[in-house]
Structure formats: C-alpha cells, structure tokens
Amino acid sequence: MNYYELSFTYTSPIEKEIINDVLAAELGKIGFESFTESEKGLLGYISEALYDKKTLDDKLADFPLENTRIDYISKWVESKDWNEEWEKNYFKPIRIGNECIIRASFHEAEPGYTYNIIIDPKMAFGTGNHETTYLMISEMLKLDLEGKELLDMGCGTAVLAILARLKGAKRVAAIDIDEWAYNNALENIRLNHTEDIQVALGGAEKIKEFGLFDIVFANINRNILKKLVNIKYLALNGKTQIITPTLLGELVFDVVGASIRQLLNPELTASWEKGLTYVAEGSITPDEYMEKLERFVAGRTYGVLRLNNQYQLREYFETAGQNYSKK
C-alpha cells in the first residue's frame, strides 16, 4: 500500500505542540493513520486510496484554533520497510507490568519477563505503543488461554496472536486486509517461533475459512464488528467471546484523541518518569521538574479550552454507544 506524506507547518501565537495535538485529531477523521512531530510542525501519513486534497483543504479551513494558519506540502511515499525508520526514531521496548516485554529485533534481550515478544513493525499497526494495543495485551495477560481456539482479527503486527500462542492457545489465526501487515505478521511469527499460527490476507469474508473460535480479539475499528454480524459469523457459535476495547475505553480514547492526542503516546509518560529519575539522582531540582510539568499541563489545558469540541465529542459518544446498547 502506497502513502502520501504531508508536512504541515503553522503560523500562530499558539504553541506548536498544542496545534499538533488538535491537527492530528482533526486529520484522523479523514483517514490519516499516523503522525510524527517535525521541527516545524507535523508529518501526517494517509493511504493513497484515501487522500483527497479538497477534503483536506475543507478540514483545514474549519480548523478549530483561532489565528492559526496551516500550510502543507505533500509527497507520494512508496511502500517500504519501516524498521529502519522506527529504529532511527528510537522505538523503545514496551513493558507491560513484570510479565510481558515487546521489543524489536535490534534491542537487547531483557531477562525476567514471562513473555518476551519480538516485533519488527514495518508499517503495521500494533507494537504496544498504541494505547488500545497496550490495553488489549494487559487484558490478555489476565486470561487463561490454555487450549483455546483464537482469532486475531485485524492483526497488524500479529502481536496479539503471538502472545495468545505463547500463553498456550491450541489454535491461533490472524487476518489483516493490508498486504504489508500480512507480510509483517508472517515475519514476526517466525521471529517468535510460533509458525503454527495461521495467517490470511483479506477482510471479514476470510473468517469462515478458519471455522469457529472460542475467542476473537478485535483491536480494530468498531465497523469490523458490524461486518462480523453482517456475514452472520457470530450467529454460528453463541459461545464465541469477542474481546475488544470497552465502551469506557473507547470513550476515553476518543476524548483524549480529539483533545490532547499527544497523551496517547507512551513515550510522553516515559519522558515524565525519566524526569522523576533525574530528580531522584539530583540532576534537576523538584522545582524545575514541577515548573516544566505545570507549563505542560497549563498549555494543554489552554488548548482544550479553546477547542469548543463538545459537539464533536457527543457525536463520538453516540456512535460508540450504538455498539454497546442492550437489545
């Protein structure tokens, strides 16, 4: 899959970080998949199939922060292996408690974890950096998967499928509609010596080829659940469990994503934790740390207050609520 990379720059009295948060939230509504902060603004990535210049221009014309001019330059990006890009941008190991660590092949092994998973991400979603992936893994660690038959729908890197197999699942299948994700899943499965995981390229129509499952992990857009209903897959086995983010989890994610998107980046939490380490070591004073923290909170709060996005959030709530309403 080919992508467009758009470099956004700003002219505004508002802090660049605040504009980045708001812009990423707005662009996410029109198909942008990932973002990277640049020296002068934000880099955004959208698939070639979804990119529409008029839609983008209309979205920027309605940008919610006042006195902010946004310019951009677009360039076509051919599909490529993104391992090198992740390494250059300091992709760090993800640790979930004391049980699980997710690291790239270029990281040193860390002993002491029950599950040591190697993921080379390429363009695929799902390394543990994304908040919903982190939450799904946290929930998986609590489950007894011994002897279960399990599907990872929209597998991305296949990290959930790999963990399920390591936890003793009897049969595991993984499906993704993106060819890069499919190839990356195969590679990661080999890296973790879980080659008996079945992998397929395609959408919801592929599920029936694998038969029935005890558990379906669906860390993906909620629309895929509607597809499972439409093809009557869920009706085939009333005992199948669907493991997906909860209503509260979706609402929290939507609110943060639409208001202070930067908070969804685990590296932000890590940076503040590192600051506390500096305080403990005496490298910086507690007052210096608190001054930086208060400035960060004040700046983000200022940005949220100026958003006036309550109607947008209500739309998110109503959309999410429809998928959890009791029949």
Q: Does the domain spanning 85-218 belong to CATH 3.40.50.150?
A: yes
Sequence-ordered alpha helix ranges (H) in the chain: 16-28, 53-61, 83-88, 131-140, 159-166, 179-191, 223-230, 247-259, 266-281, 286-305, 310-322
Residue 61 has pLDDT above 70, yes or no: yes
Which two three-digit tokens encode residue 285? 């004073």
According to CATH, the topology of domain 3-79 is Alpha-Beta Plaits (3.30.70)
**Common-topology check for domains 3-79 and 85-218:** no
Dist. CA 93–CA 110, nearest whole Å: 10
Neighbour count for residue 2 (Cβ, 10 Å): 12
Sequence-distant (6+) residues with CB within 8 A of 45 are 3, 4, 5, 6, 32, 33, 34, 35, 77
163, 113 Cβ separation under 8 angstroms: no
Task: With a cut of 50, say whether residue 326 has pLDDT above it.
Answer: yes
Distance CA 212, CA 216 (A): 10
- pLDDT at position 129, please? 45
Burial class of residue 28 (count of CB atoms within 10 Å of its CB; 0-12, 13-18, 19+): middle
Give me the pLDDT at residue 125, please: 42
Q: Please state, as a whole number, how many other Cβ atoms lie within 10 Å of the Cβ of residue 241.
A: 13
> CA–CA separation, 264 vs 262, rounded Å?
5
Using alpha carbons, select from 55, 176, 163, 49 the residue that is nearest to residue 122.
176
Q: Model confidence over 242-261: pLDDT tens digits?
A: 445 555 566 666 777 777 76
> 187 with 159: CB under 8 angstroms?
no
Closest to 117 (Cα-Cα) out of 160, 152, 76: 160
Q: Region 294-321: what's the mean pLDDT?
A: 71
Asked if pLDDT for residue 294 goes beyond 80, the answer is: no
pLDDT band at 322 (very low <50, low <70, confident <90, very high): low
Residue with the larger pLDDT of the pair 180 and 236: 180
Tokens of 7: 């470099």
Q: Are 103 and 119 a contacting pair, CB within 8 Å? A: yes
Lowest mean pLDDT among 131-140, 215-224, 226-235, 250-259: 226-235
Interhelix angle 16-28/53-61, nearest 10 degrees: 130
Instruction: Express each pLDDT in 10-38 by its tens digit.
Output: 998 888 878 887 888 788 888 887 777 78
Domain boundaries, the chain: 3-79, 85-218, 248-322
Residue 139 pLDDT grade (very low, low, confident, very high; cuts 50, 70, 90): confident
